[in-house]
Structure 1
Amino acid sequence: MLSLSAALAVSQAGFAYQDSSVEYDYADVLSVDPIVETVSEPVERQVCRREPVQTYQPQYAYQDRRHRDPTGATVLGAIIGGALGNTVGRGDGRRAATIAGAVIGGAIGHDNARRGRYVETGGSYRTHYEDVCSVQTDYQEEERVVGYDVTYRYNGRVYHTQTDHHPGDQIRVEVAVSPAF
């Protein structure tokens, strides 16, 4: 019981204490210098510009063809329809298909020749502007503290080490005691 209270008093006073055959103590920090590393970080940004775009705007006019002679279109339609009908069937069926194709083709040609239609009568080019955007990557250099060079004194001797954090006024040290032969 006496040794436990003595060890407790020693650890509370900030002196060396023992933990499973390894002893620890605190040393006074003399100086702390940050270890600085320059890092280049990518920074993306969107860059937009306005570019001209030309589009063609056609103009149409209605063309009335009711007064036009449909004879040529009717004959051409009948010839094409008859030729297509002739490829269908055999014997009397082929003749009937040829006649039906000629009649239907002539009717379509006649109707098409008389039907009005829209025709392009010209047009114009128009210019408008569109935003064209792209992502650009710039690199920004930044300095970062990656550790600390620490100089400390223990038992009258000066030591150096590196840590990943600032130690403060004191640094914990491991004291190795071994017998000398």
Structure 2
Amino acid sequence: MNKTVLAAVAGMLAAGGAIAAYQTFATPYADVVSSTPIIEKEPIYGDVVSSTAVTEMRTGSRQVCEDVAVEKRREERFGDKDGMVVGAVVGGLLGNQVGGGDGKKLATVAGAVGGAFAGREIDRRHTGGQKYTEVEQQCRTVTEPREEVIGYDVQYRRDGEVSTTRVEDKPGAQILLGERDKVVGYDVTWEYEGQTGSLVMDEDPGKRLPIKDGVIAVRSADTPPQG
């Protein structure tokens, strides 16, 4: 056989062996059926440049209390209205000492009536018992205008731009502007040789997933590369 032909045949056999070896040791892949982003809310902040209090004049009321010395009188021994009763008793006793029989009875009644009248008049004209001073707390409500802080005009910087907004409370170093959607991972469904499964990945896997030692070879963002 021609040496040239033998060399060509040998080359073909060598190439076929290499292809067979590649097919035997090539990395298998699972097909990605679906990849759904996992969404979480992420706060958006701006760096505070300055804040200015916004004030408004409003009318408000407050209670003012003070200690006041008040002059009072102590109660009489018999009270304010017992003079009439005491006068009636005394008048009746005095009338009972006059005469006898029906005259004595009439004198007793007359004495009681007169004594009651006299006692009542004494009560009316009497100025009361001993005077004394007592300190009392007296309160009153006063209405007055006052300046109130109703908010803050805030200048903040975000992405190199300075903007202004108004907030109710005095801000710190940062101000919350809102929130946005953030992709934190992917729910992935795969299929390989009639089998299906699912897993969570940090990144979108694309169309295929490598299989190593019979399992899906997944490297998350926190896992260092192997090899």
Higher Rg of the two aligned structures: 2
TM-score category (smaller protein): 0.3 to 0.5
TM-score by structure 1 length? 0.38
TM-score by structure 2 length? 0.31
